[in-house]
Chain A
Amino acid sequence: ETGVTQTPRHLVMGMTNKKSLKCEQHLGHNAMYWYKQSAKKPLELMFVYNFKEQTENNSVPSRFSPECPNSSHLFLHLHTLQPEDSALYLCASSQDGGQLNTEAFFGQGTRLTVV
């Protein structure tokens, strides 16, 4: 266990559905991240929150909407997704976003399938 928990572990949703992914960490970290991992592609950074403020939005389509109510919780709200959005979505946290020489702690990921 890395201290970062993601739920659900698996999710199947239709293109018209609305769902949310949840990430929780109790490591005392101030930065949280969403990454997307598709088959045969590098890990893609989607969003970064540092001290609850979004500091990075890596040109992610608006059908993905992040929310960070506090430093311990991060959500990714999903709406009208496309089949190509099917991927493993990974949440990570680190002590301080943008701080040098810090490692990231990852959750186990949510395997999302859009049908």
Chain B
Amino acid sequence: SQQGEEDPQALSIQEGENATMNCSYKTSINNLQWYRQNSGRGLVHLILIRSNEREKHSGRLRVTLDTSKKSSSLLITASRAADTASYFCATDAHNAGNMLTFGGGTRLMVKP
């Protein structure tokens, strides 16, 4: 099974609300990354958090990492319709030759 698994699989919110997506993984990691994908297009890197970091911010994005629980969350504050996309977490696990392994993603829909 994949290293990272996102939760929920789909999320629908109103513009202006916050969106929280979670990612769980199985083995120890070096870092965890979040990516965004618009429908049928390539992935765009959003943020990287190292295993020794607990929280990181980038604009309206806030990422947390809890290595004891092997989980991460991505919070998008004050969401906009343009945030509608799929969001993926990716890990480079120690047991995977440090190659990026992606989860199944969360499909976020922000209604105007």
Q: Which residues of A contact B (CB under 8 A)?
A: 2, 4, 6, 33, 35, 40-43, 45, 48, 55-56, 88, 90, 92, 97-101, 103-109, 111
Contact = CB atoms under 8 A, between A and B. Distances in A.
A45 B103 CA distance: 12
Nearest to A103: B45
Interface string B72-112: 00000000000000001010100001111111110000000
A90 B43 contact: yes
B99 A56 contact: yes
A62 to B, nearest CB: 21
5 contacts: A41-B104, A99-B98, A100-B30, A101-B48, A104-B100
A100 B92 contact: yes
Given A100-B92, A100-B98, A106 B42 contact: yes
B97 A107 contact: no
Contact of B105 (A42, A88, A107): A42
B59 interface: no
B69 interface: no
Contact of B42 (A56, A98, A101, A109): A109
B104 to A, nearest CB: 5
Given A55-B97, A90-B42, A101-B50, 9 more contacts: A6-B42, A43-B102, A100-B30, A100-B31, A104-B43, A106-B35, A107-B42, A108-B42, A109-B41
A105 B45 contact: yes
Q: Which of B30, B35, B88, B102 has the most CB of A within 10 A?
A: B102
Given A2-B42, A90-B43, A45 B101 contact: yes
Nearest to B31: A101
Given A103-B48, A105-B45, A98 B40 contact: no
A88 B100 CA distance: 18
A58 to B, nearest CB: 9
B97 A88 contact: no
B106 to A, nearest CB: 12
